[in-house]
Amino acid sequence: MHSACGRYVLVFNGEIYNHQALRARLNPVPVFRGHSDTETLLACFADWGVEATLRAAVGMFAFALWDAHTQTLTLGRDRLGEKPLFYGWHGDAMLFASELKALAAWPGWSPQLDRDALTLFLRHGYVPAPYSIWAGIGKLPPGCYAVLDARARAAGEPPQVRAYWSLAEAMAQGRAQPLQVGDDEAVTLLERRLSDSIGAQMLADVPLGAFLSGGVDSSTVVALMQAQSAQPVRTFTIGFDQPGFNEAEHAKAVAAHLGTAHTELYVQGGDALALAPRLGHLYDEPFADSSQIPTLLVAQLARQSVTVALSGDGGDELFAGYSRYAHANALRERARQAPAWLGGAGRAAAAMLAPLAVHWPAASHWRDKLDKLPSVLGNDDLAFYQAQMSYCLHPERAVLAGHEPRYGLSDARAIPTDRPLAERMMAWDTLNYLPDDILVKVDRACMAVSLEGRIPLLDHRVVELAWQLPPQYKVRQGQGKWVLRQVLYRHVPPALIERPKKGFSVPVAAWLRGPLRDWAETLLDAQRLQEEAVLRPEWVRQLWRDFLSGRDALHYAVWTVLMFQAWQEGQRVTH
């Protein structure tokens, strides 16, 4: 879209939820040609400049802005990273897109695999920003904009990245000025802030609904939606027939209590399994969070009735929902009390067991355990956290000519070290796991079926309030999300919610030994791996044998390898 003044051209992906309020702040108010938030952004950029506009805007977005007067390109991304933006030089052209596959439209596009980024993928199950799977193509970090001017273009230099919002700063400000309020007031403050965010995101000129799993986060979003809606909110749930993996009954009970127009679909194993070979293409770069399958299925279900769906993602990271937060400080303290020599002894023992692993599966099991000791027992809290989050502990052993960067976690060192480990883990998750795993999963699944997913818990004002709340409002008596639960319990009886937490997961281990085994064997064939010359065949085959011998915990690493292989196969088809 061209600006009215003719100076700017904007390419925009996303939604600005407060764009009507932004229009009202413009002085003088321009003559608008339409009602879109894209036109609002253009007018604000022209009047206020890029950074002031971004600080005022509330939304999820990625954009590219061309300034014809200064011959400057500006790329920008929303604060928490809901919308993706890839960019980089290819020859003498600066390419940018919301999807890596879009770059293939450029004449002469010939990407090279970034083997260092592949090691990061094998560790995390996703490629963390600012890396991408293609060498020379990066991801713009959340809360940032990048400027490419004439001098940088002439020199072939990357755009200069600048932050307009920082989680580390929000965390520091919240800790420096914590809210001094009682329990009821804290709950009311959060309910009001969430209601404002949800109300703004419910504005749509197309049919709207919500994902409902029956857990705390999605139930809170739906409850506050229904409180603001004169009509029953449309809610959607996927159920599985496998014991231990089905939460549809809980979601149904919550929906009945709130009076939503609820739709559920029980998925047979074959329906879900049919998606597996397509995942490498749908997710655009290797991605191995297996909850991608139910996320895609529920997005498909919702799209049959609505065009916009609200999601409850973000609650775990903001309000200490993951069990690892509750145990982190105690585990770390016990580890620090262990003798210093134990980590080195573990590393040496792991090295001794390595040659035995080929013929003795138990040796591989104990090698994995011992390999973690130096990270668990060392003084580096970030290394401790990374060891807990790793799918593959030493991914450089798997990738030919691959070298893992020291830390593939963006801005991890910016988090203050004077805070308890659990708080820093929440911040690291919000900086990395949330935008590069959770939000990628939701965005790609929704976009694949032309559904717009919105995430009201990630309104930056909710995030800032969450960091102003003292820790006792998040964890009490070993249970996380205390304050969020109290908001929910004003609308839903606790008995409908209180139960052990389950992830949005599928029985991957059983599938890989059963109906997915032939597909997996094809992708993990030793001759195929040898010809591809990317992953070490002996490492992959040993991993597969160890998994088949009964080590179910290895299904995370196996799925990660399979997702890379499926993605790589898709690239061969595409190119």
Binding-site residues sit at 37, 238, 311-312
Contact 265, 240 (CB under 8 A): no
The tally of CA atoms less than 13 A away on the side-chain side of residue 113 is 21
Q: How many whole angstroms from its chain centre is CA 510? A: 25
Dihedral, 394, 398, 399, 403 alpha carbons, nearest 10:
20
Q: Number of helices (H) and strands (E) in the chain: give both, helices first.
A: 26, 13
- Residues in the annotated binding site for ATP: 238, 311-312
Picking from 456, 505, 10, 378, the residue whose alpha carbon sits closest to that of residue 222 is 456
- Residues in the annotated binding site for L-glutamine: 37
Q: How far apart (Å, rounded) are the C-alpha atoms in residues 553 and 531? A: 29
Tally Cβ neighbours within 10 Å of residue 527. 8
**Phi, psi of 301, deg, nearest 5:** -65, -45
**Residue 135 burial (CB < 10 Å; 0-12/13-18/19+)?**
middle
DSSP per residue over 352-392, as a string?
A: HHGGGGGT-HHHHHHHHHHHHHHHHHSS-HHHHHHHHT-SS
The sign of the dihedral angle between the CA atoms of 545, 549, 551, 555 is: positive
Q: How far apart (Å, rounded) are the C-alpha atoms in residues 196 and 191? A: 9
Task: Tell how strand 93-97 and strand 208-211 pair up.
Answer: unpaired
